[in-house]
Amino acid sequence: MQTTESHPSHNDTGGMAALISRIALAVITPLIIFYALYQGFLFLRDGDSPKWAMTLIAIIWGVGGVAALYWVFNWLVEMLPLAWMQRLQPFVFVGPALAILTWYLAFPALRTFWISLFDRGGPPEQFLATFTSWPPDSWVGLQNYTSIFSERLMRETFRNNLMWIVFGSSFSVAFGLLIAILADRSRWEKVAKSLIFLPMAISFVGAGVIWNFMYEVRPSSVPQIGLVNAIVVALGGEAHPWPAYTAISPWNNLYLIVIVVWLQVGFSMVLFSAALKGIPEELKEAGRVDGAGEMRILSGIMIPYIRGTIITVWTTIVIFTLKIFDVVWVMTGGQFGTEVIATQFYRQSFVARNPGYGSAIAIILLIAVIPVGIYNLRQFQDREVF
């Protein structure tokens, strides 16, 4: 594929010929690459070689293909005049990421919004047909949104999500901070932190299953295998099924929130611990000489110092709890007044087969997450070290 003309040459007799061959090269090279990639795709799709061989080829084809694309486009851009090269070169590298984000995130979000404007019939199959016979039969406008905010179940859902946000994030942050501070002064710091970090490795579904056992109840004649009931019985109480706590809805949500706190404390603890270790020793000593006690140093110097980290962790967990789904789905399936936005979205879209309504819920969730996300990103960018 390499020819002598691939480099701009100045001493050619036929400058025109050189130009033409360069343009031809610029067109042909990407075509060859795309063809090679497409053939690789076909081979992988239709091939019946052993699994390991396919895997190996897929890796080489994928990584090599991406590298080849970058290389070719970079090469093309570098053939341009300097001014244009500087303008275009960033896009060679950012472009693919932007394209993928647009395809996988922006388009689906827009499409979800589009679907949310229709009833369970959904939008017409042909996008353009929507406008030729306006309005389509299934068009409901913003009605899905108005009903979301007027239905009793949805209000309960929002209330639950609010509980998740408030309790989930504050408990995770508070315990994470407390453990980080205490561990920092302990001889057992490494062991304690490892143990507390362990649950981070467990999937939410797995955690849900584990905690189902925690709340398990057995007839009083046999030993309790559920830890919570075992403790209750050991203290002389009666074993009882925890769904009985539906009686105290909405507080039963706390039984689920505690699971996520258990999982997330490790995350916040690790970040806080690193931030606390970043506080200069002299700053604390200055506080001591100034007359502050240990509590005052904590509240007046250390916590303000790691404020940025606290906000970042807090907002990260808020976003996370806004989107909570797995734990609720595994533990209660949304019964007993524990429904949250994500489970409602799933139920409406895939169980009740009302994608319009489900999409509207998803859009609301998205809108709720965006400001927190922006704030979170700002915190990351503004993080200044004194």
Partner 1 sequence: MASVTFKNVFKNYGDVEVIKDFTLEVEDKEFIIFVGPSGCGKSTNLRMLAGLEEITAGEILIGDRVVNDVPPKDRDIAMVFQSYALYPHMTVYDNMAFGLKLRKTPKDEITRRVNEAAEILGITELLQRKPKALSGGQRQRVAVGRAIVREPAVFLMDEPLSNLDAKLRVSARAEISKLHQRLQTTFIYVTHDQVEAMTMADRIVVLHAGILQQADSPRNLYNFPHNIFVAGFIGSPSMNFFDATLVKEEQKMYLDSGDFRIEVPSDKMETYKAYIGKQVIFGIRPEDVHVPQYAPVDITPAPISGSIEIVELLGSELILFVNAGSNSFVAKVDTRYEVKPGDSVDLVCNMKNMHIFDKETELAVR
| Binding segment toward partner 1, per CB under 8 A, in 231-239, 263-271, 298-306, 363-371 | 298-306
Residue 190 or residue 307: which is nearer to partner 1 going by CB?
307
Residue 382 binding partner 1, by CB under 8 A: no
Residue 128 binding partner 1, by CB under 8 A: no
Residue 37 binding partner 1, by CB under 8 A: no
- Integer Cα distance of 182 and 185 in angstroms: 6
Residue 350 tokens, joined:
């895939």
- 257 close to 160: Cβ distance less than 8 angstroms: no
> What 3-state DSSP class applies to 236?
coil
Residue 152 or residue 187: which is nearer to partner 1 going by CB?
187
Residue 28 binding partner 1, by CB under 8 A: no
Could you say which of 87, 155, 307, 353 contacts partner 1 (CB under 8 A)? 307
Closest alpha carbon to 117 in 355, 379, 372: 355
Residue 278 binding partner 1, by CB under 8 A: no
Tell me the closest approach of the beta carbon of residue 182 to partner 1, in angstroms: 21
Residue 151 binding partner 1, by CB under 8 A: no
Could you say which of 305, 325, 372, 373 contacts partner 1 (CB under 8 A)? 305
| Binding segment toward partner 1, per CB under 8 A, in 135-143, 290-298, 311-319, 368-376 | 290-298
Residue 286 or residue 370: which is nearer to partner 1 going by CB?
286
Residue 33 tokens, joined:
């690459």
Tell me the closest approach of the beta carbon of residue 238 to partner 1, in angstroms: 52
| Binding segment toward partner 1, per CB under 8 A, in 243-251, 293-301, 344-352, 355-363 | 293-301
Residue 64 or residue 300: which is nearer to partner 1 going by CB?
300
- 243 close to 255: Cβ distance less than 8 angstroms: no
Tell me the closest approach of the beta carbon of residue 282 to partner 1, in angstroms: 4
Return all residues near 196 (Cβ < 8 A) that are at least 6 apart.
179, 265, 266, 269
- Cα angle for residues 339, 344, 349 (degrees, 5° grid): 160
Residue 217 binding partner 1, by CB under 8 A: no
Residue 139 per-residue DSSP state: B
Q: Is the dihedral of CA 234, 237, 239, 241 positive or negative?
A: negative
- Integer Cα distance of 116 and 70 in angstroms: 38
- Integer Cα distance of 65 and 267 in angstroms: 36
**DSSP string for residues in 107-122:** HHHHHHHHHTTB-TT-
Residue 219 binding partner 1, by CB under 8 A: no
Residue 299 binding partner 1, by CB under 8 A: no
Beta-bridge mates of residue 139: 118
| Binding segment toward partner 1, per CB under 8 A, in 37-45, 102-110, 300-308, 349-357 | 300-308
Residue 108 or residue 304: which is nearer to partner 1 going by CB?
304
- Integer Cα distance of 379 and 362 in angstroms: 26
Tell me the closest approach of the beta carbon of residue 183 to partner 1, in angstroms: 23
Residue 298 binding partner 1, by CB under 8 A: no
**110: alpha, beta or left? (left if phi > 0; alpha if psi -120 to 50):** alpha
Q: Using N-to-C axis directions, what is the helix angle for 189-197 and 169-184, rounded to 10°?
A: 160
How many Å separate Cα 18 from the centre of its chain?
A: 51
Could you say which of 90, 105, 151, 285 contacts partner 1 (CB under 8 A)? 285
| Binding segment toward partner 1, per CB under 8 A, in 106-114, 233-241, 292-300, 362-370 | 292-300
C-alpha radius of gyration, the chain, whole number: 29
- Give the total residue count for the chain: 386
44 residue type, one letter: L
Could you say which of 20, 101, 283, 377 contacts partner 1 (CB under 8 A)? 283
Residue 128 or residue 289: which is nearer to partner 1 going by CB?
289
Residue 52 or residue 386: which is nearer to partner 1 going by CB?
386
Could you say which of 27, 99, 286, 351 contacts partner 1 (CB under 8 A)? 286
Residue 247 per-residue DSSP state: G
Contacting positions for partner 1 (CB under 8 A): 280, 282-283, 285-293, 296, 300-301, 304-305, 307, 384, 386
